[in-house]
Structure 1
Amino acid sequence: MINDTIEGAVTIVSSNEGFFTKGMESKLHEVGYETQFCTMEETTRELGRIRSRTGLYVLYMQDDVEPKNLMNLHDTLNMDSKKLIIVSEMEAYTELKKVFSTSQVLNWLERPLDMNEFIRCVRVYYEGEEEDEEPKTILIVDDDLTYMKLIYSWLKDDYNVGMASSGVQAISWLVKNSADLVLMDYELPIVNGPQIVEMLHSDSVTGQIPVMFLTGKNEKEFVMSVIDLKPVDYLLKTIDRAALLGKLKKFFGEQG
């Protein structure tokens, strides 16, 4: 399904045109997309030329890019109703959230960049929703119903989503349904997250289901205790929609 409303080049914005940004441009050319590159200074000086030819912006965040210098790009996105893909490390993205709103950000992709996932995001934006691939199924397990419903609202358009508010409900749900991933609150009451993981691993049917922990804590000792359980990842509950979707897309992309 082609999205006829999206036209123009993919404009890559970074502090300089280096090895990785040239690789992104080369890959986009291979699959038929026009590209242009601009530095932060060019974004400021030559907005007319850049804006008139842009369908989508991609910000490749390098270590020497100051978020405060990106306000011009922020204003351009608002004026032209264009979207932005951010490629950065998690720490940098935390700062970028202070500059760009969730409505401006199409996707966040973590460095090092998965080029196939990047191209997939661009294709979906220009050509419309993917229709052939069956959506993955994710079970959210959290006793905080407000938070669980928030995560559900973020995921429901891209995934089949189940919800359970306790360990007992989670096990019961997984007995009746298959899941490609479990997003698990670490600190559940009665039967906590680690205990549920042990129960899942002890069963031949559920033992292979990957688990990502959701936690509100970031202390070193706590993080190490989470890592010892060998989840596929652990996420702080302060994570926002774009970052969570980016993490999930990267995970499922690596699963093939």
Structure 2
Amino acid sequence: MKRVLFIADMNDIVKNMNEAMLPFFRVQLCTADEKFIRKMIPIYQPDIVLVFLNQLRLIQVQELKVILDENEKLPVVMVGSMYEFREYGFDDGNIRRLVRPVSNQEVISILCGMLALDYAEYEGALEHREDRRKHILFVDDNPLLLRSMKALVGDKYRVSIAVSASQAFEIMQKDCPQLIFLDYEMPVVNGKMMLQTIRSTPRFAKLPVVFLSGVADKEYIKKILQLKPDDYVLKPAQKERIFDVLKKHLGA
């Protein structure tokens, strides 16, 4: 694998970019510290340098510019705004500049092109990685809850969401999940009815189904458990509880 030295101040965007590159490159994340960068270049011997200018201080950029000038044969991809490129003097030279906003895929495509690699191989590797993740379906008529659940577990699992039973079954027919989180109090076709349909359908009968409910009453919960779901989670669902359920039923 080609080696990428990724110079940036850590934040969620940088973290996501770093993770996106891992299937295709060896990546070394490096803070914009002049002494650290000078040590890392000869030790890591990168094939290319990726720099995110966002949140870097002027002194850091000035020191970085000196280091890059000293290593002029090292290819560099830099992500920033037009203002940052002009302000810091990166509006000319051999540095490949990408203006924000730019997607992870666009950055990786440019890195591949500069390293004479086939970007299609990256896409294939990414698809392969995603296909291997376990598939979870969240069914709830609350779009806000669905978005929060997808954000919570989406890094580790492949997540589908549905706002109704009919939409959920449509997803299940095309791409059967390995676990279903199902809102018990949905309108029209509620959780009880959907669970009965799942259990009576041979293809889906053995799928683990976890009820979600916003009612904390003991008798109500007892009534729900009599339907024999595989588990039960009280809303608002806590992160630890969701991951405990996932570990229990999916083993990871």
TM-score by length of 1: 0.46
TM-score by length of 2: 0.47
**Which structure would you say has the larger RCO, counting Cα contacts within 8 Å and 6 or more residues apart?**
1
Structure with higher Rg: it is: 2
